[in-house]
Amino acid sequence: MTEHLDRRADTTRVQILRAASRQFARKSYSLVSLDDILADAEVTKGAMYFHFPSKYALASAIIEHRIASARTSIDELLARKLSGLETLIDISYLLAIEDMGDETARAGLNLLQSIGRTDGLQEDVLGQWVTAFAAITRKAARDGDLIADRDPEGIARLLVSMYLGLRQTSSLAQPERLLHDLENMWLLVLPGFVKPDRIAYLNQFIKRRTAVALKKATSL
Amino acid sequence: MVRQARSEATRRKIMTSAVELFNEIGYPATGLGDIIERAEMTKGALYYHFDSKESLATAIIEEGSVRLAEAFRGIAASSAPALETIIHGVFVVADLMSTDQIARSGMQLLRAFGEFNDAAARTYDGWVTEMTERSRQAIDEGDLREDLDPQAVGETIVSSMLGAELLASASTAGADVLERVARAFKVLLPAIVSQESLSYFDEFLARESLRHSAAPAAD
């Protein structure tokens, strides 16, 4: 009996999260009202407050959800056992595709950039992101792809900053443009830390990834 | 529930012991009695799970094939072009074959039973189908020459990889399987890869071999 109830509560929670993601993916945090979410989720106010006491709690839950799903995607990519640099490039394309076509993914990053700034959440999440990228960058160094004495942590920070900037300056609604910008970004930064004799191959790798991504990408 | 878990543990124990013995003294020389002794089981426990040495071998072939197929599917993400997946996948599978006892023993039994065993036919068919499908995709993506027959490419890749594994098994007990796989691809790729993609795949293969020949502490 309780199990049954729990499951129903779970469904309600998922329903609310989905509706909220739809809203937060398309509108900024301050423009989304709880009433919009209630109407979209088709749940009562009571049910909503049972799961999420505030708009802020709801937003944090979406960010958490996004972090968990990004971690799964990244683990899957790591399981492919490619070289460190190829893995970093693949991750950037994967994040871009999810950011363009998946509501929770889009909402998660939108919210992180708008509400996470003041309460340490952004610092915490981006810190984890940088740490994960730095570990993969160190693998790239062991693969022999990096110029000696380049700092993996610094490279990781640069890559994270660039993607977060790219999603603002380019257009998530136009896959062709965003992927083109992402490709350009990689082609421009690689010579900053990759050994000159590895660049020709990686440039081709990037262009091939753009071609595959263009076929897969969808937009909200 | 508990009983089921214990029964599964027993089954594993029997399989592992059998694999050890097959590796040490070979399949023909291994008797069910040796397996029972090694696994420290009763005859009844073994017969409960396997009614003959051949059914035990079949189970090892199947388990080994599943592990190899899972390793391949694990890396076959859709974000990569098909020919990259084929090459990278073959390396990952070959690597697993040299490190995973059951996968390795499964391959050897597969060879020993070849035409007499359904599991063997299913396994080979499965690989050819998989590689044919990916070859078709690689032709569409422009990485393989468009005048090629995907089925022929799939069969050729599977045959040359099985051959490389066979030679490695025979001459170095499997130790140099990755080098042999790399050499086989080096000869094969110029024959099937399109002109535009050849230099890229040359480099792709070089990086792949380098990565796999690096010290195991690479991670």
Domain ranges of chain B: 1-51, 58-218
Predicted confidence (pLDDT) at residue A2 exceeds the cutoff of 80: no
d(CA B71, CA B185): 20
Q: Which amino acid is at B120?
A: A
Q: What does the angle CA B87 – CA A94 – CA A26 come to, to the nearest 5 degrees?
A: 160
Q: State whether residue A194 is helix, strand or coil.
A: strand
Which chain B residues contact residue A76 at CB under 8 A?
Answer: 77
Domains of chain A, earliest start first: 60-216 (1.10.357.10)
Run of H or E including A41:
helix A34-41
Mutate to test the interface with B, among A73, A201, A215 (most CBs of B within 10 A): A201
Per-residue pLDDT tens digits for B135-190: 999 999 999 999 999 999 999 999 999 999 889 988 888 888 999 999 999 999 99
Say how many CB pairs under 8 Å bridge A and B.
Answer: 47
Q: State whether residue A201 is helix, strand or coil.
A: helix
pLDDT band at B212 (very low <50, low <70, confident <90, very high): confident
Which chain A residues contact residue B218 at CB under 8 A?
Answer: 139, 142-143
Rounded to two decimals, what is the model's pTM? 0.81
Which chain A residues contact residue B207 at CB under 8 A?
Answer: 83, 201
d(CA A127, CA B132): 44
ipTM score assigned to the predicted complex: 0.71
Are the CB atoms for A84 and A138 separated by under 8 Å?
yes
For A20-176, strand residue ranges (E) read: none
Confirm or reject CATH 1.20.1560.10 for domain B58-218, answering yes or no: no
Superfamily of domain B1-51: Homeodomain-like (1.10.10.60)
Q: Quick check: A90 contacting B, CB < 8 Å? A: yes
What percent of chain B stands above pLDDT 70?
Answer: 93
The whole-number pLDDT of residue B24 equals 87
Phi-psi region of B178 (alpha: psi -120 to 50; beta: other; left: phi over 0): alpha
Q: Quick check: A128 contacting B, CB < 8 Å? A: no
Which chain A residues contact residue B211 at CB under 8 A?
Answer: 83, 143
Which chain B residues contact residue A83 at CB under 8 A?
Answer: 207, 211
User: How many angstroms separate the CA of residue A213 from the nearest CA in chain B?
Assistant: 7
Q: State whether residue B144 is helix, strand or coil.
A: strand
The whole-number pLDDT of residue B216 equals 45
Contact B88 A82 (CB under 8 A): yes
pLDDT band at B210 (very low <50, low <70, confident <90, very high): confident
Contact A209 B79 (CB under 8 A): yes
Per-residue pLDDT tens digits for B91-144: 999 999 888 999 989 988 888 876 667 777 788 889 999 999 999 999 999 999
